[in-house]
Amino acid sequence: MAKTTSHQVSSWDTLHNNGPFDLRLLQRTKLEGKSNIPSEIGRYNDASDEIQRLIQEALDHNEGFRAYGARWSMSSIAHQKDRMHYNVFMNLDLDISQEDLHVSSSYESANLFFFQCGNTIKEISQKLQSYGKSLKTSGASNGQTIAGCISTGVHGSALDVGSVQDYVVGLNLITGPNPEDVVYIERSTKPALGDSFAQKIKARVIRDDDMFNAALVSLGSFGFIHGVVIEAEDIFLLKRYVKKIDKNTALKLARTMDFKNSSFSIDGETDANGKPKRPYHYKVFINPYTNEQEYVVEAMYKKPYTDLYPDPFTTIEKSVYKDLIYLLIKISEKFPKSIPWFIKQLQEQILPDVNEESLGTLYETFWDAPYQGPAFACSFGVDIKDSEKALNVLIDLTKDEGPIPGIYAMRFVKKSDATLAFSKFPITCMIEIDGVLWKKSRKLMSLKEFSRRMIQVLQQNDIPFTIHWGKNSDWDFPDLVSDMYGSNSEEWKKQRSILLSKEMAALFSNDFLQTIGLYTKEEDVPTEDLIASL
Amino acid sequence: MICAAVLFTSCYSVRLTSTHGAPNPCQSGIDCLEDAGNFYRDKRVIVLDTVIKSGIMTDDIGIRTQREGCESGKLFSVEYKNTLGGALLYLVTFGNKRKVKIKYVCMKPEN
């Protein structure tokens, strides 16, 4: 049997110290060893039984239950005050063969992989590489678990690809303690796996586009995500360039994504007509406190894979003294006017080196991000056509009412089909400010106040926006979610109430969900029968 | 006195890290070494801080990974810390006593 250890604790925190948050019980499950259960499916189903047992236990105590992985989210989305389950040791992967495909599947079996929830992006990438495959995209680093990524909408800057959830084609959820509460969900219009595979993992099949799209970015609230089916692609290389280019050119590209007719051209990255190629990835870095006429941009172009390329890892790494950053932030709290100067001094550590070039796989390019102390990040999604206007509005706020110890960046993500994906525009520009976590002082507003002002100035300037679920914000801002998602937020709630019983809807909720108005105990939406429609 | 204390504890460390494999994770408040440094945040680090009595005929000393906290038996990173005090101890004991300070992280167990 998989074994769970339970620890009585008093608090829990995110990786970046955005808490602490109250917690009573922390649970951690380790799978049964291969020597006792040699079959991977056997161990997977054994883990499923164990999770159902834990759910029943939480239910018996009238308590909430929530899974978490690498705890990279800076918002309180992963937190539950009663019981939290640490799932990173649940890292099985199951083989998918041609026989496992649905008869109407348009996927190639060689591209489909089934991963248990606790697999990190790094583990998945290594597994895929051993098959000559790669993820289509990832976040800026690789430590998040797959379940955490899709629950919060982790994205990179692959402008024509999308976010992590966009290559997920099937979900295995545990929605309660009973046998029928193990479900396998996929789209009815694009099925991936046949019922025979679902039977192997003892799951009831739900083929429904609306349900699948709602459950994709579930905010961890559609049950325990036990496994996901992803579609990978053939392994590729990314040629990465860092350039300093005219600010107006960088922002025009952000607004239009029209690379072909841009003056931004890199030798060797042009088509047969000499026009610039469209990159796989485009990112703009902005120091809000300098008035430079040039911005640092990062562009990456996809290349066919060959193993004949130089080692992309630098051999020697150095990092700034933790105490130095701590000292700078303490000074900043007392003397906020020093922040622009500090950022200028740390710019070399924060920004990539201009004219840097590298070649590597997706795994090698978006490698480990070292923890560098308590941090914050606020990230807004806007339609690319509004990107320059939104950036200017936010920079003005940061300078006029700050300064805030952070630096801006813009990344670009293709629209997602997920009901509550913040990448909801045809191409979403994610404008993000990342920096060192500070404490409110007499001269420096709090992170929550800054977040509130960001929302207000975007609203005042009529710029439609979304907010990254895993980042810092003033999440109890009035009508925030309905303003961002309109009827989609109601659709998400409806699908959740169809999937979960009232008891389970309460069990899989948390303060975050209540704060943003996506769960209220009083709600009573009639359930519908859902059966496999194919 | 203060100078002597600073000199004897002054040190530097060098860390070798694997580019492949995932580090064995730990959970803060349960089995993480909280003050191990930024690199070790959320990683299950094992610290060896000891003086090994080796004898003057001993050439090299080998240390094996432990099972507790290192179920995979595979290494993700190893950090060796050198101190002036350790070097002096080696000298004054003619190599008989060797200060060893190593931090290592193993690979996350595969299932």
Beta carbons of A70 and B42 less than 8 Å apart: yes
Whether A370 sits inside 8 A of B27 (CB atoms) is no
Region B43-69 average pLDDT: 85
Query: How far is Cα of residue A168 from the mean position of the Cα atoms in its chain?
Result: 13
Cα–Cα distance for residue pair B72/B25, rounded to 1 Å: 12
- What integer pLDDT is reported at residue A327 of this predicted model? 65
Q: Please classify residue A290 by burial: count the beta carbons closer than 10 Å to its beta carbon, then call 0-12 exposed, 13-18 middle and 19+ buried.
A: exposed
Contact A23, A12 (CB under 8 A): yes
Separation between Cα atoms, residue A105 and residue A102, nearest integer Å: 5
Residue A317 confidence (pLDDT): 59
Q: Which two tokens stand for residue A69?
A: 């992985």
Contact status, residue A117 vs residue A225, Cβ threshold 8 Å: yes
- Look up residue A41 and give its amino acid: I
Q: What is the ipTM of this complex?
A: 0.84
How close B33 comes to chain A (CA, Å)? 14
Q: What is the C-alpha to C-alpha distance for residues A455 and A451, in angstroms, rounded to an integer?
A: 6
Work out the angle between the directed axes of helices A247-256 and A387-401 (0-180°, nearest 10): 130
Helix (H) or strand (E) run with residue B49 in it: strand B45-53
CB A465 within 8 A of CB A486: no
Question: What sign for the dihedral angle of Cα B19, B21, B26, B31?
Answer: negative
- Cβ-Cβ contacts under 8 Å for A131 (sequence gap 6 or more): A110, A113, A232
Instruction: Note whether A186 and A207 are within 8 A (CB).
Output: yes
Q: Crossing angle for the helix pair A339-350 and A322-334, nearest 10 degrees?
A: 160
**Which chain B residues touch A34 with a CB distance below 8 Å?**
111
Cβ <8 Å between B108 and A9: no
Instruction: Tell me the C-alpha distance between A21 and A510, whole Å.
Output: 12
* A466-467 β-sheet, strand order: A357-361, A236-246, A294-304, A281-286, A406-414, A427-436, A375-383, A466-467
CA distance linking residue A379 with residue A408, whole number of Å = 9
Amino acid present at A249: T
Interface test with B, best of A79, A91, A365 (most B CBs within 10 A): A91
- Residue A533 DSSP SS3: coil
Q: At A297, which amino acid appears?
A: V
CB distance A84 to A12 below 8 Å: yes
pTM: 0.91
SS3 A516: coil
DSSP B25: B
Contacts B19 to A, Cβ<8 Å: 313, 364, 367
pLDDT digit string (tens) for chain A, length 534 residues: 999 999 999 999 999 889 899 999 999 999 999 989 999 999 999 999 999 999 999 999 999 999 999 999 999 999 999 999 999 999 999 999 999 999 999 999 999 999 999 999 999 999 999 999 999 999 988 999 999 999 999 999 999 999 999 999 999 999 999 999 999 999 999 999 999 999 999 999 999 999 999 999 999 999 999 999 999 999 999 999 999 999 999 999 999 999 999 999 999 999 999 999 999 999 999 988 888 899 999 999 999 999 999 888 875 555 555 566 666 666 777 777 778 877 777 777 777 888 888 999 999 999 887 777 788 899 999 999 999 999 999 999 999 998 888 889 999 999 999 999 999 999 999 999 988 888 888 778 899 999 999 999 999 999 999 999 999 999 999 999 999 999 999 999 999 999 999 999 999 999 999 999 999 876 555 445 444 444
Residues 6+ positions from A127 with CB-CB distance below 8 Å: A93, A113, A115, A119
- d(CA A324, CA A32) in angstroms, rounded, equals 45
pLDDT band at B4 (very low <50, low <70, confident <90, very high): low
Write down the pLDDT at residue B5.
54
* B26 CA: distance to closest CA in chain A (Å): 9
Could you say which of A7, A90, A371 has the minimum Cβ distance to residue B38?
A371
pLDDT of the residue at A533: 45
**In this complex, do B19 and A28 lie within 8 Å of one another by their Cβ atoms?**
no
Partner-chain contact B21 A126, CB within 8 Å = yes
Whether the Cβ atoms of residue A454 and residue A475 lie closer than 8 Å to each other: no
Identity of the residue numbered A394 = L
DSSP strand pairing (A281-286 vs A406-414)? antiparallel
At residue A322, the pLDDT reads: 58
- Tell me the C-alpha to C-alpha distance, in Å, between residue A229 and each of A42, A165, A377, A389, B12: 18, 10, 29, 39, 46
Identify the pLDDT of residue A437. Answer: 83
